[in-house]
Amino acid sequence: MLYLYGIIDSPEPIYYTCSGRNIYTLAYNDISALVSRGDGPMTRVTGENVIIHGEVLNGIVEKQALLPVRFGTLLGGGDVEGLLSRNYHQFLASLNEVRGMVEMSVRALWNAAEEEEKCRQGNDFSDPREDLPGNPGTLFLMQKRRQLLLERCLKSAAGIPADEIHGWLSRAAVKHIKRVLPSPAMFFHGSYMINRERAGDFAAEFSSLRDKFTRYKFLLSGPWPLYSFVSLNCR
Amino acid sequence: MKLNSISREKDVTLLELLDLILDKGVVISGDIIISVADVDLVYLGLRVVLASLDKLYPPLDGEV
């Protein structure tokens, strides 16, 4: 069994060790699969396995164009060549697209309780039908309606600063993804595909942004391999 | 940098990594039928291509 970490744009043999794992490549034409010996326990979602998976890719991403594979992918030893040949053109096209690029991630947090209170004070979520005698089913639906209206209000409130933050940061990006209110406390999460050499410029833009939006808390991470911008499903 | 700051930074890095590698990236999917003696036992639409269970999870010392 082999554990698959990613697909790279080099047919030359590569070998390195990372946290006790021997990492090597199996080539097909001008691309290769980045693998190590694998077994079931390596696919368990533990902190150690997750960090090793990330470190393996960090060890190669600065040298090669890389398509990172999702965590926990095992292959039979004889299946690698088939995988690469069946998906060769798709892999090649994607590698050309990601060459020299990295992913930066920005998350923004707000005071969820405060924002919820603003929504409740600024809107009347009640319904006159709530005063009518009703059965439990009706009351349940009324409660669901209130919840839905609150969620809609919060999403709308999050959208305004999210749009502004994303507009600011996406200027420096080749591609970008915006997520509004992915969780109650996180009103914004943006992913940005940028040229590796511009990572410093992006960090500077982020610092300016943080100075402007002082009521929010921000998290910048990266550069990462392009996990969010590689949406291939392969067989 | 204080130790608790370092620890918190590591936790944040781990969470970010979890979000990326568990949910994103290239997906290799396969339809697997596990069979014994031409009898199809289990059909699995999986993200992995598997071998038999004893190859996946080798027995621990003393375990059968």
Domain that holds residue B21: 3-56
Q: What's the pLDDT score for residue B44? A: 45
Q: What residues of chain B lie within 8 A of the CB of A54, using their CB?
A: 17, 21
In chain A the domains, ranked by start, together with CATH numbers, are 2-99 (no CATH), 102-224 (3.30.70)
Tell me the percentage of chain A whose pLDDT exceeds 90: 68
Whether B45 maps to a domain, the answer reads: yes
Cα R_g (chain B), whole angstroms: 20
Residue A93's pLDDT band (boundaries 50, 70, 90)? very high
Per the CB < 8 Å rule, is A228 touching B24?
Answer: yes
Q: What residues of chain B lie within 8 A of the CB of A232, using their CB?
A: 26-27
Whether B64 maps to a domain, the answer reads: no
Q: Outline where DSSP puts E strands in A29-95.
A: 31-37, 66-68, 74-75
Q: B37 pLDDT exceeds 80?
A: no
For residue A160, with 0-12 CB atoms within 10 Å meaning exposed, 13-18 middle and 19 or more buried, which class applies? exposed
Residues in chain B, total: 64
Whether B27 maps to a domain, the answer reads: yes
As a whole number, mean pLDDT of residues A112-119 equals 92
Paired tokens of A222: 């990266």
Whether B61 maps to a domain, the answer reads: no
Q: Which residue has better confidence, A148 or A129?
A: A148
Give the containing element (helix H, strand E) for A3: strand A2-8
Per the CB < 8 Å rule, is A76 touching B49?
Answer: yes
Whether B33 maps to a domain, the answer reads: yes
Q: What is the pLDDT of residues A32-78, one digit of tens each?
A: 999 999 888 888 888 899 999 999 998 898 889 999 999 989 888 77
Residue B49's pLDDT band (boundaries 50, 70, 90)? very low
Nearest-CA distance from A225 to chain B in Å? 9
Residues A106 and A219: their CA atoms lie apart, in Å, by 6
CA atoms within 13 A on the CB side of A209: 26
Complex ipTM above 0.85?
A: no
Per the CB < 8 Å rule, is B28 touching A219?
Answer: no
Q: Which amino acid is at A31?
A: I
Q: Which residues, other chains included, contact A80 with Cβ-Cβ below 8 Å and sequence gap of 6+? A: A2, A4, A26, A28, A33, A35
**pTM, 2 dp:** 0.80
Partners of A204 in beta bridges: none
Closest residue by Cα to residue A187 from A227, A215, A222 = A215
- Considering only CB atoms, A227 lies closest to which of B14, B20, B49, namely B20
Q: Which residue has better confidence, A158 or A234?
A: A158
Per the CB < 8 Å rule, is A234 touching B55?
Answer: no
Nearest-CA distance from B2 to chain A in Å? 19
The tally of domains found in chain B comes to 1
Q: What is the pLDDT of residues B8-35, one digit of tens each?
A: 666 777 788 888 888 888 888 754 444 4
